[in-house]
Amino acid sequence: MRRSFASTERVERLENRMTEMETRYASIPGTEDVHEMRLRIAELSGDIRVLSQRVQSFSHQLELLLENAVNRSNS
């Protein structure tokens, strides 16, 4: 059986690739991070629902004011 060894250049390239992968892996969100993001998204969803209801209410009030202004100008 013949033994072969990796060249210094190849080992350095592999070490560089490994370092790059470790760096990328370190920046990936963990389980706790994902859980926290889910909680915050749920909070934002509730806030958006409330804001949507308020916008609809303002829209209705503006429609009534506009209708009132149009009726006054036609009278």
The predicted pLDDT at position 60 comes to 93
Residues 6+ apart with CB under 8 A from 37: 29
The answer as to whether 58 is a domain residue is yes
Number of domains in the chain: 1
The answer as to whether 24 is a domain residue is no
pTM: 0.56
The answer as to whether 72 is a domain residue is yes
The answer as to whether 51 is a domain residue is yes
The residue segments making up the domain with residue 71 are 30-75
The answer as to whether 54 is a domain residue is yes
The answer as to whether 10 is a domain residue is no
The predicted pLDDT at position 4 comes to 82
The answer as to whether 5 is a domain residue is no
pLDDT < 70 regions, the chain: 1
The predicted pLDDT at position 59 comes to 95
The answer as to whether 36 is a domain residue is yes
The predicted pLDDT at position 75 comes to 75
The encoded tokens of residue 63 equal 């429609």
The predicted pLDDT at position 6 comes to 82
